[in-house]
Chain A
Amino acid sequence: MDLIADSIIIALVVVGIIFTIITVVGIIRLPDVYMRAHAASKSATLGVMSLLLGVFFHFWWNEGHFSISLVLGIAFLFITSPIGGHLMSRAAYMSGVKPTELTVGDDLKIAIDKQRAELAKNTHEE
């Protein structure tokens, strides 16, 4: 029983460490702000959630301490980390950071230009 518990904890912690290292490699090597935000928000979230789940099981099974604030921390990270990634990418786009040359399409620019044109037309009519 103890062996099974330790195996599950070690597996969760190892998955968390692997996704942490994947985050670092992605942030250093990818060529673009948006790709870096993609790497950072997804794999860092999954890595830290898996590692915190391992720590939660460690304190629950080995120490007999059911820590409810750790569950709250996991849920909070799962909610807020993609929101943070979305806000950072939108701030990067709105402040005019160019994507890399490998990009083939920019649909957001078309949508924003259309919105700006409609706004200008409405203010002109008034």
Chain B
Amino acid sequence: MSFGIKLHVWGDHACWTRPEMKVERVSYDVMTPSAARGILEAIHWKPAILWVVDAIHVLQPIRFTSIRRNEVGAQIPAGSVKSAMNRRDTNGLGLAVDENRQQRAATVLLTPAYVIEAHFELTDMAGEGDTDAKHIAMFNRRAGAGQCFHRPYLGTREFAAHFELVEGDLPESKLPADQRNRDLGWMLHDIDHANDHTPYFFRAALVDGVMAVPPLDSGDVIG
């Protein structure tokens, strides 16, 4: 039996990119379980544990804005790196941004704030010293002191997240009444990186401002 945690996260913008709209990015209305797991892992994670997100509370009205930026449309070709290594010089490895420029718009959320409810499970990598109590204490100590392995972010790294451990009551939700109950459609649950990066989806809905997340092995998640 493992203990649950609650983490309050917020920021200026967020972009939980919908996989079907990745070029001109469009954010989901609500944080995905996959993104929530990433935020928790930014604070504390070891191969011995697996974070499982149970619910996401939406604390702010769901509002969007659009940002268009010049982006680079290329990745570093590993082949060129290899040959440069063999030649022992970096000639021609650079990337000219004006030749590889793409202007892309992103539809992102404004002033998002959430409470992530989650627990962790021990994996088969857990050794003798890995107990629930130890990891929960580590997470609580870190989150309480504002410590993190790397700065968590709200979907993309330019939208840094601030976080606080919720120990008592939940922060007050400012989600307006007409947004508190709605069907959010199919949403990415998580990606199984161990098995060829298989994505899993679930039918997301806000019920009184809270999105419950079904466990991966329940019948409500399709891969």
Q: Do A and B come from one complex?
A: no
**Interface, chain A (partner B; CB < 8 A):** none
